[in-house]
Structure 1
Amino acid sequence: MTTHPLFNLLDRLDTAKIHYTLSRNRPDSVLVSMTIVAMRVEVDVFRDGHIEVCTFTGSEAPSDIPDLLDRIIREHTD
């Protein structure tokens, strides 16, 4: 019996001691999200076994812009 790629990925992350969260935003995939130094990574593992990886990099410095959080919420409200 072949192990699904999702379980292979989770085993690799556990072995590497990389914290992750799982969520399901699409009916055909599970999203594995992890944050490592200077990078956020989103991995979609699909029912058929294929994997898509997105990385987001940038400054992790805190911002002192007074209305930044309000602006982010306003700009991303449905």
Structure 2
Amino acid sequence: MKNHGFGKLVTFLNQLEQEKISYTLAHHRDETIMVNVAVAGERWEVEFFEDGSVEVERFVSSGEINGKRFLVSYLLCIQSQKVILPNIPKTLIWQARRECDRIVS
């Protein structure tokens, strides 16, 4: 069986470069090379396998813009509300904790 995985990868990278689309390469599984692509409002994970097969995961933004409160809420949730956040007003932290409680309940 002829292996076309590398050729497909190179062709795809050349297309991205021709279109001036930014990408990075990663290697997370033994038999694949992943191309991470970021375009406006989307992120793609394109995996090229040794056998020539290709898998694509596409992540699309909802378009919602979140601010500092969302970031603080998120940090508090992922760190079990044990994070010390310097230079952030206590009222914002309290609001974020309430939001975190709402998210996890």
What is the TM-score with the length of structure 2 in the denominator?
A: 0.60
Q: Would the alpha carbon gap of residues 38 and 52 (structure 1) be closer, same or farther in structure 2, given more than 3 Å must change?
A: same
Q: What residue ranges of structure 2 are gaps of 5+ in the alignment?
A: 81-105
Q: What residue ranges of structure 1 are gaps of 5+ in the alignment?
A: none
Q: Between the two proteins, what is the percent identity of the paired residues?
A: 30
Deviating above 4 A after TM superposition, structure 1's stretches of 4 or more consecutive aligned residues are: none
- The Cα offsets for residues 9-36 of structure 1, whole Å up to 9 and x where unpaired, read as 1001010100000000000000100111
* 1:45 correspondence with 2:48: yes
User: Superposed, which structure 2 residues align to 1:1-78 within 5 Å?
Assistant: 4-59=7-62, 61-63=65-67, 64-65=69-70, 66-72=72-78
The structure in which a higher percent of residues are helix is 2
For 2:75, give the aligned amino acid: L
Distance 1:55 1:32 in 2: 12
Question: How many residues matched?
Answer: 73
What is the TM-score with the length of structure 1 in the denominator?
A: 0.79
Aligned-pair CA distance for 1:50: 1.1
Distance 1:70 1:22 in 2: 31
Provide the aligned C-alpha RMSD in A. Answer: 2.0
Q: Which has the larger radius of gyration?
A: 2
Distance 2:21 2:52 in 1: 21
